[in-house]
Structure 1
Amino acid sequence: MTVTALAADTFDPASVVTHDPVVRVEAICKHYGSTEALRNIDLQFERGKLTTLLGPSGCGKTTLLKIIAGLVPATSGQIVVNGRAVTGPGPERAFVFQDFALMPWATVLRNVGFGLELKGMAAAERNRIARRYIEEVGLQGFEDKYPHELSGGMRQRVGIARAFAVNADVLLLDEPFSAVDEQNRRKFQEDLLRLVEMERKTFIFVTHSIEEAVYVSDRIVLLSPRPGRVSNIIDPRIDRTANPDDIRRDPGYLDVVEEIWQGLRHYAE
Structure 2
Amino acid sequence: MRTAVLRKEPSTIPAAVDTIVGVRGISKNYGNVEALRGIDLDFPRGKLTSLLGPSGCGKTTLLKIIAGLIEADAGTVTIDGKVVRAPGPERAFVFQDFALMPWATALRNVAFGLELRGRARTEREEIARHYLSEVGLAGFEDKYPHELSGGMRQRVGLARALSVDADVLLLDEPFSAVDEQNRRKFQEDLIRLRATQNKTFIFVTHSIEEAVYISDRIVLLSPRPGRVSQIIEPDIDRSGDPERIHRDKHYLDTVDEIWQGLRQYVE
TM-score for both structures, normalised by structure 1: 0.97
- What is the alpha-carbon distance in structure 1 between the residues aligned to residue 81 and residue 67 of structure 2? 15
In 1, are the aligned partners of 2:10 and 2:40 still within 8 Å (CA)?
A: no
Partner SS, residue 208 of structure 1: coil
Aligned to 2:224: 226
In 2, are the aligned partners of 1:18 and 1:44 still within 8 Å (CA)?
A: no
Aligned to 1:5: 6
Aligned to 1:265: 263
Aligned to 1:73: 71
Aligned to 2:110: 112
Within a 5 Å distance, the mapping from 1:25-104 to structure 2 comes to 25-104=23-102
Aligned to 1:204: 202
Structure 2 unaligned spans of 5+: none
TM-score for both structures, normalised by structure 2: 0.97
**Which letter does structure 2 place at the counterpart of 1:4?**
V
Aligned to 2:20: 22
Deviation, structure 1 residue 266:
1.5
Partner SS, residue 66 of structure 2: helix
4+ residue runs over 6 A deviation: none
Cα 1:18–1:255 change in 2 (3 A) is: farther
What fraction of aligned residue pairs are identical, expressed as a percent? 70
Deviation, structure 1 residue 242:
3.4
Aligned to 1:182: 180
CA offset digits 1:44-85 (Å, max 9, x no partner): 111110000000000000000000000010001000001210
CA offset digits 1:78-130 (Å, max 9, x no partner): 00001210000001000000000000000000000000000000000000000
Aligned to 2:129: 131
Partner SS, residue 100 of structure 2: coil
- What is the alpha-carbon distance in structure 2 between the residues aligned to residue 59 and residue 41 of structure 1? 12
In 2, are the aligned partners of 1:18 and 1:46 still within 8 Å (CA)?
A: no
Deviation, structure 1 residue 156:
0.2
In 2, are the aligned partners of 1:18 and 1:45 still within 8 Å (CA)?
A: no
Partner SS, residue 62 of structure 1: helix
Deviation, structure 1 residue 19:
1.1
**Which letter does structure 2 place at the counterpart of 1:5?**
L
